[in-house]
C-alpha cells in the first residue's frame, strides 16, 4: 500500500480486518498513523513508521486491539449517556453556575492546558506526601504530593471528555476505582480518583498567595518505609498508611507519644470487652506499613 502522498486517504481506506493476516502486519505504519491524528501531515507518517519499526508482530496485534478497546472503554467524545454516563457524576459532572452556586476558590490545568478545572474548597481536607512504590513509579519521582478533596469540590471547565484512566491494582485502563486520572494528550497526572474522595496534585493548582500555599502544606508522610530518599522536615512519618502504621524516623516526639497513648487506650478497652481476643492479638496488633505499593489509593 502506498501512503506517502495521501495521508488522509490512507487513514480513511485502511481497515486491517479486511486484509489477510500477513498483510495486516505489512501495513503496520498505516495502523500506527491512525493513532496520531493530532500530528501534522508532514510529520505523522515518518513518526508512525518509526513506531512501526519497533513493533514485533505479536506486539502490533496487541497494539491495534488495545487502541480500539481503550477508545471504547473510556468513551471519549461528547456523549454523556450509556457508557459515557460517568460524565454526569462527580467528580466529572460539570456544575451549572445558575443551579449549583459553585464558588470558585482556585483554578488549575494540566501541562498542555487542554484539561482545566476549578475548586470550591479553600483548604483541602488533608495534604500528604506518599512514598509508596506505585506513586514513585507513576509519577517518576521520589514521592507524590497529594491534597484530598470531596468529589463535589471540583468542576471541570475544559477537557473532561478527554481524560484517561489507569487502575494500578489490576494494571488496566478501565475506569475502575480507585484509579489514576491523566490528560490523554500530555499525560499529566490530574488526580487519583477514589471511591469517596479525590487526591489532587497541588503543583497543577494556581496558588497565588502565601496564604493559599500554606493551606496546601503537607501535614505528614505516608509509606515512608518505602522511601528512596530521606526528608528530614520534622513532619510525622508513617511507615504505611497514616494513623494505621508506626511513626518512624524524625517524627515529632509528641506525636509518637500521642500515638502510643491512643494505642494503649485501645488495648485496655479491648481487654475490658474481650480479654481472650485481646491477648491473642498481642503486640502483633500494631500494623507495620500496609501493603507494599498501594500508597495514596488505599486512603480513598
Residues 227, 150 within the same domain: yes
pLDDT (tens digit, 9 = 90+) per residue, 172-213? 988 888 999 999 999 999 999 998 999 999 999 999 999 999
Residues 194, 99 within the same domain: yes
pLDDT (tens digit, 9 = 90+) per residue, 39-75? 444 555 555 555 555 555 555 555 454 443 344 455 5
Residue 13 covered by a domain:
yes
Q: Where are the beta strands (DSSP E) in 101-249?
A: 106-109, 116-119, 126-130, 144-150, 154-158, 163-166, 179-183, 189-193, 197-200, 220-222
Residue 206 covered by a domain:
yes
User: Would you state the pLDDT for residue 276?
Assistant: 63
Residues 54, 114 within the same domain: no
- Are residues 267 and 278 in contact, defined by beta-carbon separation less than 8 angstroms? yes
Closest by CA to 161, choosing from 95, 76, 38, 69, is 76
User: Would you state the pLDDT for residue 223?
Assistant: 95
Residue 193 covered by a domain:
yes
Residue 2 covered by a domain:
no
CATH code of the domain covering residue 153: 2.170.150.70
Residues 94, 167 within the same domain: yes
pLDDT (tens digit, 9 = 90+) per residue, 236-245? 999 999 888 8
Residues 13, 101 within the same domain: no
User: Would you state the pLDDT for residue 66?
Assistant: 44
User: Would you state the pLDDT for residue 5?
Assistant: 42
Question: Dihedral sign, CA of 39, 40, 41, 44?
Answer: negative
Residue 76 covered by a domain:
no
Instruction: List the domain range (segments joined by +) for residue 257.
Output: 81-300
Residues 252, 293 within the same domain: yes
Residue 75 covered by a domain:
no
Residue 1 covered by a domain:
no
Query: Is the whole-model pTM more than 0.85?
Result: no
User: Would you state the pLDDT for residue 293?
Assistant: 55
User: Would you state the pLDDT for residue 58?
Assistant: 56
Residues 128, 184 within the same domain: yes
Residues 114, 17 within the same domain: no
Q: How many domains does the chain have?
A: 2
Q: Containing H/E element for 283?
A: none
pLDDT lower than 50: segments of the chain: 1-26, 35-41, 63, 65-72, 278-292, 299
Closest by CA to 149, choosing from 202, 102, 110, is 202
- Are residues 93 and 182 in contact, defined by beta-carbon separation less than 8 angstroms? no
Question: What are phi and psi for residue 279, nearest 5 degrees?
Answer: -70, -25
User: Would you state the pLDDT for residue 87?
Assistant: 78
Residues 53, 159 within the same domain: no
Residues 291, 178 within the same domain: yes
Cα 29 from Cα 3, distance rounded (Å)? 9
Residues 58, 107 within the same domain: no
User: Would you state the pLDDT for residue 176?
Assistant: 86
Residues 62, 184 within the same domain: no
Residue 72 covered by a domain:
no
Amino acid at each position: 500500500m502506498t501512503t506517502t502522498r495521501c495521508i488522509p486517504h490512507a487513514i480513511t481506506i485502511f481497515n486491517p480486518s479486511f486484509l489477510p493476516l500477513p498483510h495486516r502486519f505489512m501495513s503496520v505504519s498505516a495502523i500506527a498513523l491512525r493513532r496520531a491524528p493530532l500530528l501534522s501531515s508532514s510529520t505523522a507518517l515518518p513518526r508512525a513508521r518509526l513506531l512501526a519499526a519497533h513493533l514485533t508482530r505479536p506486539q502490533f496485534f496487541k497494539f491495534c486491539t488495545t487502541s480500539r478497546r481503550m477508545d471504547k472503554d473510556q468513551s471519549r467524545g461528547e456523549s454523556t449517556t450509556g457508557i459515557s454516563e460517568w460524565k454526569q457524576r462527580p467528580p466529572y459532572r460539570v456544575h451549572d453556575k445558575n443551579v449549583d452556586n459553585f464558588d470558585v476558590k482556585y483554578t488549575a490545568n494540566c501541562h498542555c492546558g487542554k484539561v482545566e478545572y476549578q475548586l470550591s474548597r479553600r483548604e483541602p481536607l488533608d495534604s500528604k506526601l506518599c512514598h509508596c512504590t506505585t506513586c514513585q513509579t507513576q509519577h517518576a519521582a521520589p514521592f507524590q504530593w497529594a491534597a484530598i478533596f470531596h468529589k463535589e469540590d471540583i468542576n471541570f471547565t475544559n477537557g473532561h471528555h478527554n481524560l484517561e484512566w489507569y487502575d494500578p491494582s489490576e494494571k488496566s485502563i478501565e475506569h475502575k476505582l480507585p484509579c489514576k486520572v491523566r490528560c490523554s494528550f500530555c499525560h499529566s497526572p490530574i488526580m487519583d480518583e477514589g471511591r469517596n474522595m479525590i487526591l489532587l496534585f497541588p503543583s497543577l493548582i494556581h496558588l497565588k498567595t502565601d496564604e493559599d500555599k500554606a493551606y496546601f502544606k503537607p501535614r505528614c508522610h505516608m509509606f515512608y518505609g518505602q522511601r528512596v530518599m530521606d526528608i528530614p522536615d520534622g513532619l510525622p512519618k508513617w511507615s504505611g498508611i497514616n494513623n494505621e502504621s508506626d511513626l518512624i524516623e524524625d517524627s515529632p516526639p509528641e506525636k509518637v507519644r500521642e500515638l502510643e497513648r491512643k494505642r494503649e487506650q485501645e488495648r485496655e478497652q479491648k481487654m475490658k470487652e474481650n480479654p481472650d481476643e485481646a491477648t491473642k492479638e498481642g503486640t502483633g496488633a500494631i500494623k507495620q506499613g500496609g501493603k507494599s505499593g498501594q500508597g495514596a489509593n488505599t486512603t480513598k
